């Protein structure tokens, strides 16, 4: 037999004897629908929340107040009675928005959500447009609402119902509007309406329309604590009041508790600012009500990427402005000549390496003679990350039968034993034994000695040949160390990027009208640190290697650059003045050449043994 039931969406379900389980679950879901309507709602935040990215799904006016961002998330919860798990429901959402997109007044956001259950699916895809004037913003939202029903959970008789004559899905356009005001810092107020046009959501006719929802909210922050009051009113639910209390940080962290006055709906939510442009949000709906709880209990995760929190490392050179500044002596005067100057980058990072080399005076002469220049060089290939002196080309397969032919000294034996112990107890992650073509057999024998006799894990000891990235690396590897090669203290400086290029855009100036020009770079005290000059004509570009008048890299701080030129009549003109920021990082590197085994106790991440002979 079958069990007909008229649902609130204007459809009829029927289950055959072969499909009782899906139909029973469907019947349970629709029976709970009036009570668990919140489980089918789309994800929305508070209408006054400037931190939570999801709030723009509630109030489109918040786009103009929130930062430019992309966010995406997922939500999973269960439907059931009395705490019993039932049908798993899935929900996801995403959006991207940017405020002040057009003329610093209009912000735009696009995104969507979906809700999936075994009976039906809903989606909401659209855009939000927000305009801001001082402390008030007004927003509208246009969304395509789609509801579709899973045919697998309906009998053939049910699918012949006239309600399905137009198909098993329906899409309608929904319009909403909202306003947000922040008359003074820490205080916000909002008002808006969703489904303003009451779109048709039923499959047959227009008997079922989405209910209008009027919402409003107030929020107030005092120090690190914020309170929010939210009101929502629909004909289906009446008026709901939610109160939230949160502790927050201006960095982007917050933890929040939300509940209605009857404590039938409660939520705990937290957001953590990971660093750079990234934040992570998590919320959990507490099952506080025996009936409503299992219908709204959920885990929700959101990842937020804020564009304006990601620093620009090397911005592209800006184009000259369309409104080149000029002045008129009177209405009939000609345009005054001017030059617009800009730089390829607006800041530079200066890195300083201070290398200290210490040679143990007790080292025998034959030990020093076995070293090469590569052993006492900078010890790292970049400023930010340590690397071994040479990359290794691994040798495969490894032979287990080769033995190291040469007797080892007591210090060498002790070193190998110590390394083997650290490899075994995770003190050292990996050891590489590197040798030239004719020394590969010796390297293989040394590896087998460490593995078979000292007990090192075989998968952590690698054999290979050195990979040289340049001729200089190869020469340093093969060149024996001379007595005067060890420089006790050395300082190396370099800038990133290595130079900048000034772009000069003359306006109303011919080359013949210029008899001399000077581009000065000065510090905050007005002292010139670098100067460029020429005679006739103003060049299109000027390169600067970040060095001052004495040839050294400029010190950290703020610098200004400006062009001055002299016309044929003797008049001195000046261009605009711009800034460049200089940051400096210092790293101390110490290279010890000794026989003592003490440094091995520090358990480096990787060890590289270089076989020279």
Q: How do residues 185-234 score in pLDDT, each as one tens digit?
A: 778 999 999 999 988 877 766 667 888 899 999 999 887 899 999 998 88
Q: What is the pLDDT of residue 165?
A: 61
Beta bridge partners of 305: 70, 278
Task: Kindly report the average pLDDT of the chain as a whole number.
Answer: 77
DSSP string over 171-221: EEEEEEEEEEEEEETTEEEEEEEESTT--B--SSTTS-BPPPEEEEEEEEE
Query: Nearest Cα to 433, choosing from 419, 414, 453, 418?
Result: 419
- Please state whether the peptide bond connecting residue 475 to the residue before it is cis, i.e. omega within 30 degrees of 0: no
User: Which residues does 505 contact at the CB level (< 8 Å), separation at least 6?
Assistant: 320, 339, 340, 341
Tell me: pLDDT of 322 over 70.
no
Retrieve residue 111's tokens: 């995104």
Q: What is the pLDDT of residues 87-112, one digit of tens each?
A: 455 789 999 988 766 655 788 999 99
**At 484, phi and psi to the nearest 5?**
-90, 10
Q: What mean pLDDT comes out for the span 355-380? A: 74
Model pLDDT, residue 210: 82
The sign of the dihedral angle between the CA atoms of 158, 162, 163, 168 is positive
361-375, 458-472, 569-583: the lowest-pLDDT one: 361-375
- What 3-state class would DSSP assign to 2? coil
For the residues 529-540, what does the mean pLDDT come to? 90
In the three-class reduction of DSSP (H, G, I as helix; E, B as strand; rest coil), residue 52 is classed as coil
| Range name among 281-285, 405-409, 414-418, 506-510 with the lowest pLDDT average | 405-409
3-state percent helix, strand, coil for the chain, nearest multiple of 5: 20, 45, 35
pLDDT, residue 37, reads 41
Q: 561-576 pLDDT, tens per residue? A: 999 999 888 888 899 9
Task: Record the pTM.
Answer: 0.46
Half-sphere CA count of 500, side-chain side, radius 13 A: 25
Point out the least confidently predicted range of 156-165, 309-318, 585-594: 309-318
Among 7-21, 50-64, 361-375, 556-570, name the one with the lowest average pLDDT: 7-21
pLDDT of res. 166: 64
Q: Dihedral sign for Cα 545, 547, 549, 555, please.
A: positive
CA distances in angstroms from 372 to 155, 471, 485, 489, listed in the order given: 83, 15, 10, 18
Q: Above 90 in pLDDT, residue 285?
A: no
CA 511 to chain centre: 48
Question: Can you say whether the dihedral through the CA atoms of 236, 139, 134, 272 is positive or negative?
Answer: positive
């Amino acid at each position: 037999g079958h069990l007909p039931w008229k649902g609130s969406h204007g459809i009829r379900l029927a289950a055959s004897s072969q499909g009782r389980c899906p139909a029973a679950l469907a019947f349970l879901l629709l029976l709970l629908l009036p009570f668990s309507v919140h489980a089918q709602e789309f994800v929305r935040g508070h209408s006054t929340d400037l931190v939570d990215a999801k709030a723009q799904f509630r109030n489109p006016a918040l786009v103009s107040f929130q930062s430019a961002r992309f966010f995406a998330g997922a939500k999973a919860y269960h439907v059931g009675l009395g705490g019993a798990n039932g049908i798993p429901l899935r929900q996801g959402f995403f959006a991207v928005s940017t405020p002040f997109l057009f003329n610093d007044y209009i912000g735009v956001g696009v995104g969507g959500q979906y809700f999936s259950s075994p009976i039906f699916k809903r989606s909401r895809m659209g855009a939000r447009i927000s305009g801001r004037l001082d402390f008030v913003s007004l927003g509208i939202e246009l969304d395509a609402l789609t509801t579709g029903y899973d045919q697998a959970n309906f009998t053939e008789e049910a699918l012949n119902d006239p309600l399905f004559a137009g198909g098993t899905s329906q899409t309608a356009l929904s319009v909403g509007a909202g306003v947000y005001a922040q008359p003074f810092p820490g205080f916000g107020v909002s008002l808006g309406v969703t489904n303003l046009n009451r779109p048709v959501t039923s499959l047959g006719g227009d008997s079922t329309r989405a209910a209008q929802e009027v919402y409003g909210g107030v929020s107030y922050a005092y120090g690190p604590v914020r309170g929010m009051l939210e009101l929502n009113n629909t004909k289906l639910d009446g008026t709901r009041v939610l109160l939230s209390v949160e502790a927050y940080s201006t960095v982007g962290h917050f933890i929040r508790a939300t509940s209605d006055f009857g404590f039938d709906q409660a939520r705990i939510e937290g957001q953590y600012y990971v660093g750079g442009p990234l934040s992570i949000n998590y919320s959990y709906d507490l099952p506080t009500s025996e009936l409503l709880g299992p219908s709204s209990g959920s885990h929700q995760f959101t990842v937020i990427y804020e564009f304006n929190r990601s620093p620009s490392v090397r911005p592209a050179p800006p184009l000259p402005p369309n409104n080149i500044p000029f002045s008129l002596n009177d209405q009939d005067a000609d345009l005054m000549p001017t030059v617009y100057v800009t730089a390829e980058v607006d800041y530079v990072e200066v890195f300083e390496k201070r290398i200290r080399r210490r040679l143990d005076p007790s080292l025998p002469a034959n030990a020093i003679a076995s070293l090469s220049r590569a052993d006492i060089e900078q010890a790292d290939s970049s400023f930010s990350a340590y690397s071994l002196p040479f990359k290794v080309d691994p040798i495969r397969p490894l032979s287990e039968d080769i033995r190291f032919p040469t007797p080892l000294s007591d210090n060498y034996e002790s070193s190998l034993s110590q390394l083997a112990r650290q490899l075994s107890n995770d003190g050292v992650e990996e050891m590489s034994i590197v040798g030239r073509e004719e020394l590969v057999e010796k390297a293989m024998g040394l590896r087998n000695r460490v593995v078979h006799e000292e007990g090192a894990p075989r998968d952590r000891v690698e054999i290979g040949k050195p990979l040289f990235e340049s001729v200089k690396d190869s020469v340093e590897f093969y060149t024996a160390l001379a007595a005067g090669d060890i420089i006790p203290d050395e300082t190396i400086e370099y800038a990133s990027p290595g130079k900048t290029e000034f772009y000069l855009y003359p306006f109303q100036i011919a080359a013949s009208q210029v008899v001399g020009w000077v581009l000065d770079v000065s510090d905050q005290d007005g002292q010139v640190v670098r100067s460029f000059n020429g005679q006739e004509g103003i060049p299109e570009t000027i390169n600067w290697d970040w060095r001052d008048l004495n040839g050294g890299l400029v010190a950290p701080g703020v610098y200004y650059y400006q062009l001055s030129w002299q016309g044929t009549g003797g008049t001195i003109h000046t261009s605009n003045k711009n800034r460049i920021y200089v940051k400096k990082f210092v790293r101390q590197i110490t290279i010890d050449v000794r026989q003592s085994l003490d440094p091995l106790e520090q358990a480096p991440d990787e060890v590289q043994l270089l076989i020279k002979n």
